[in-house]
Amino acid sequence: MAKADEFDWSGYTGQQRKFVLAYIADKKHCATHAAEEAEYKHPKVKGSQLLKNDKIKAAIAWHMERLCTKYTVTADRVVQELAKIAFFDMRELYHDNGLLKRPDELPAEVAAALSGIKTRVDEEGMYIEHDYRTSSKLHALELLGKNLKMFTDKIDLNIKRPLVEINLMGRGNKPKS
């Protein structure tokens, strides 16, 4: 009997268990790679079949939910992080005197908007140079806009233009009577 915080693998084969765990561990969630990891003979076919299996879907869903809970991944948190990138103000990287701030001087919301920091220090451990890399502001704005459904294509079904008649018989050809 599994504990409340552990998945109950009874009723699953060893290969199915390996498949589920490999599928979750794979960044791209590729069924073929997971089936290869689980040592199925025909991974392309078997991976696709396993994803249609209700037991396998339940195991994947259970594990994915636990991962999201463990890392507190919520829709609200994702939107908050995107907003930090989208509305990041580069001026916050600098002191009032124009000098670049050290990484330990950056506010948390500024640091969250950065995708990388490269620093150089001298022999005494003093910072000499900082190279801050920012995440794509445009991409973050695009994702936020899509989340708010700002960029949906709208098709007007209430067209009020006269219909044009098209002669499908060709020029001047009339249907035979």
Which pLDDT value is given to residue 26?
A: 86
Is the whole-model pTM more than 0.85? no
Examine the pLDDT at 176 and tell me if it is beyond 70. no
Q: Which residue has the higher pLDDT, 128 or 132?
A: 132
Largest CA distance in the chain: 101
Residues in the chain: 177
Tokens in use for 94?
């600098």
Which pLDDT value is given to residue 68?
A: 81
How do residues 65-88 score in pLDDT, each as one tens digit?
A: 888 887 777 888 889 999 999 999
Domains of the chain in sequence order:
14-70 (1.10.10), 76-147 (no CATH)
